[in-house]
Amino acid sequence: MGFFDTILGMFGIGQPKLAITTSRTTAGPGAVIDAVLTLTGGSRPLALNAFTLEIVGTEEKTNAEGVKNHIFNRYGKVECPQGGRIIAPGQVITFHMRTQVPAGTPPTGPGLKYKISGTADVPGLDADAEQPITLTSEADAWIGEDLGRYHVLEQEGSYRNSSVKSDFRILRLPDGFVVTWKDELSCRGFDGVQRWRLPGWGRSFALSPDGTQILASNQQKEIAIFNAADGVMVRGPSQLSGWPGDMAWLQGDALVIDSGSGTSMLQPTFFPIGVGFGGDQYIGGIARSTDKRYFISYPNSNVVRWSEVPHGDHGQLQLNSPGDLFLSQDGTILVVRAGEEFHLVRAADLKKERTITVPGLKGVRYLGQAEHSSTHFGEMPRISDDNQTILCQDGSGQLWHIKANGDPLFVWPRAIVDAVEDTCWISPTEFIALTNDGRVMRLGVGGGAPAWVQQDA
């Protein structure tokens, strides 16, 4: 916001208006409170940074001199970043949020009052709204749940699941994308139109360096090569001794495959001849470099290596339990997933630049479910084409847009996209999202409804 905007803000000129409605006005410890925030733009366009929702307690106390003081306590604060999206004059935005009354919160009483407070963070012109609420001492049925850690469902549900980490992934093509649905490949253009489907294949896949062919495996421990344009098999199938995991197709037509018991190298022009070579048996991830080399992570050894077929390291980086590897579109940044955080690494020299903690929640559970049985979505950090931002779902499958420095920009409401398994950038501002319920959709970083949604599986 410029100097002129600051002066206008001092007088409240152009300030948007915020209204709030809540699902209840009386609640006990553990109770869940749903709120609807309605923001109406002011007389000029303004940037919206975030919505916040919290419970504010006001306690009135009188000191020894008889002077009354007010003490403010804040509970259950929830913040949803909005990325500075512009709110036009008169534009109305409705946003749903949820907070929880923490256990141990004292009830309403003499000298102690509560309100539900909502805020729209607009630089210099924050818009506020509040709703009085009475807190009781009677524990709510939700008191055993922690909404600050989990997305909790009222009814027991189920999700697609797989023990194969390369299922439910998106592979970007030059003019479209392919999705693996565990036992089927589905190819679409960026317009969402179906191009081809390939039943029986899709346990894992990799794209050729020129983007014209796809290497894929199936449940029978076979691999084959297919045309990316039409899905027609052009080589194979050929039998392997084990189920392949991550695969990388390097310049010079070398295939590097996680064979389940180490790494193997094949040549697509004459496979199934294979050569096994060094490294731990347990592999976290493989990603091709921009030349004949590749990156590979070994969680048990806490190392990421930069290697060349058939052997020879060009560099290595010590990281705690490194897993999946994702290379940026221009090949300059390697993203290394490691539990509930990920690392940005310079691909040219394998030097770590930054570690980012995954924001959001730890997983999904239903009311009363044992914590160890909760569902966890694997975070899949995907860096944008301009290397400035990152898409990453949290453990509950909610999608976040993050700056490359780790600051959250935007979180998508679950009503738009939920239970996200993977994403795929198609430009610096648009991407494809794959969800657990079998859908693919095209979204923009500015929020809003998808450009299209297809039920793919």
pLDDT tens for residues 380-426? Answer: 999 999 999 999 999 999 999 999 999 999 999 999 999 999 999 99
Residue 69 banded pLDDT, cuts 50, 70, 90: confident
Nearest to 447 by CA among 12, 74, 91, 6: 91
In this model, does residue 241 exceed pLDDT 80? no
Residue 199, burial from CB neighbour count under 10 angstroms (0-12, 13-18, 19+): exposed
User: Class for domain 3-140, per CATH?
Assistant: mainly beta
Percent of the chain with pLDDT over 70: 91
* Cβ-contact 456, 412 below 8 angstroms: no
Residue 158 banded pLDDT, cuts 50, 70, 90: confident
* Cβ-contact 22, 85 below 8 angstroms: no
Nearest to 124 by CA among 56, 48, 51, 55: 48
Residue 7 banded pLDDT, cuts 50, 70, 90: low
In this model, does residue 273 exceed pLDDT 50? no
> What phi and psi values does residue 20 have, to the nearest 5 degrees?
-135, 140
In this model, does residue 8 exceed pLDDT 60? no
Per residue in 427-451, pLDDT (tens digit) is 999 999 999 999 999 999 988 899 9
Rg of the chain's alpha carbons, rounded to an integer?
Answer: 26
Q: Give me the residues paired with residue 38 across strands.
A: 19, 94
Nearest to 149 by CA among 396, 399, 445: 396
Q: Provide the 8-state DSSP code for 5.
A: H
Percent of the chain with pLDDT over 90: 65
Structure-token pair, residue 173: 């093509």
E strand segments, 362-417 = 363-366, 382-383, 389-393, 399-403, 408-411
Task: Using the structure block, give the residue that is written with the tokens 């995991």.
Answer: 245
Q: Provide the 8-state DSSP code for 6.
A: H
Residue 13 banded pLDDT, cuts 50, 70, 90: low
pLDDT of residue 260: 66
Rounded Cα gap, residues 125 and 374, in angstroms: 41
Residue 138 one-letter amino acid: E
Residue 151 banded pLDDT, cuts 50, 70, 90: very high
Average pLDDT (358-386) is: 91
Domain boundaries, the chain: 3-140
Nearest to 391 by CA among 406, 379, 401, 405: 401
pLDDT of residue 454: 97
Helix (H) or strand (E) holding 442: strand 439-444
Residue 414, burial from CB neighbour count under 10 angstroms (0-12, 13-18, 19+): middle
In this model, does residue 274 exceed pLDDT 70? no
* Cβ-contact 379, 395 below 8 angstroms: yes
Phi-psi region of 277 (alpha: psi -120 to 50; beta: other; left: phi over 0): beta
* Cβ-contact 296, 355 below 8 angstroms: no
Per residue in 91-115, pLDDT (tens digit) is 999 999 999 999 989 999 998 999 9
Nearest to 355 by CA among 393, 400, 402, 297: 402
pLDDT of residue 203: 84
pLDDT of residue 95: 93
Cα 152 off chain centre by: 18
pLDDT of residue 418: 96
Mean pLDDT of the chain: 89
Residue 268 banded pLDDT, cuts 50, 70, 90: low
